[in-house]
């Protein structure tokens, strides 16, 4: 895939508790995401990839980000599935934050890790489709940049 990379981050914690109403949250998030009024910056991969389930006994989180620069807000959507592809938990969050798209993506990864732990869905993989974001997380680069605080938070949870 040109310009995209798949990274799986293993989040360690214990416990299991599915969130109720996950499918309804996902429907609400998709509805809100489709009504973008031209103000949202959406990162669309150049090639669509097929979702690959995690190994049995694991969970996988996928997250999406929408940035509304004019209103200084970001939206984050998170869906966690089991090895059968069943939705175990989902959430959408709107944050007052004037973040760049890359910072918003890192925030979504951080929120995905925290959400999976809060739901007791572990171990959980977080799928990231942006090569630059993956490099920053894996290599620890850009710790002194505007993204440093978010990267340090992610690193402390891994």
CA 103 distance to own-chain centroid: 12
1-5, 51-55, 132-136: which range is least confident on average? Answer: 1-5
Q: Which whole number is the average pLDDT over 65-82?
A: 91
pLDDT, tens digit (0-9, with 9 covering 90-100), for 84-98: 999 999 999 898 988
pLDDT band at 33 (very low <50, low <70, confident <90, very high): low
The pLDDT of residue 21 is above 90:
no
pLDDT band at 42 (very low <50, low <70, confident <90, very high): very low
pLDDT band at 16 (very low <50, low <70, confident <90, very high): very low
What DSSP line would sit under 10-77, residue for residue?
EE------PPTTHHHHHHHHHHHHH--TTTEE----SS-----PPPTT-EEEEEEEEEETTTTEEEEE
pLDDT of the residue at 145: 73
Q: Which of 4-13, 25-34, 131-140 is most confident?
A: 131-140
All domains in the chain, ordered by first residue: 7-157 (3.30.420)
- pTM value is 0.67
């Amino acid at each position: 895939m040109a310009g995209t990379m798949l990274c799986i981050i293993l989040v360690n914690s214990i416990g299991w508790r599915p969130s109720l109403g996950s499918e309804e949250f996902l429907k609400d998030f998709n509805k809100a995401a489709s009504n973008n009024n031209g103000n949202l910056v959406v990162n669309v991969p150049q090639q669509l990839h097929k979702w690959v389930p995690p190994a049995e006994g694991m969970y996988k989180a996928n997250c999406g980000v929408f940035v509304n620069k004019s209103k200084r807000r970001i939206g984050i959507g998170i869906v966690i599935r089991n090895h059968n592809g069943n939705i175990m938990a989902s959430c959408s969050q709107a944050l007052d934050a004037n973040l760049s798209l890359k910072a918003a993506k890192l925030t979504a990864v951080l929120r995905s890790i925290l959400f999976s732990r809060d739901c007791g869905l572990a171990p959980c993989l977080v799928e990231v489709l942006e090569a630059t974001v993956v490099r920053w997380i894996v290599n620890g680069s850009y710790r002194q940049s505007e993204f440093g605080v978010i990267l340090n938070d992610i690193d402390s949870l891994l």
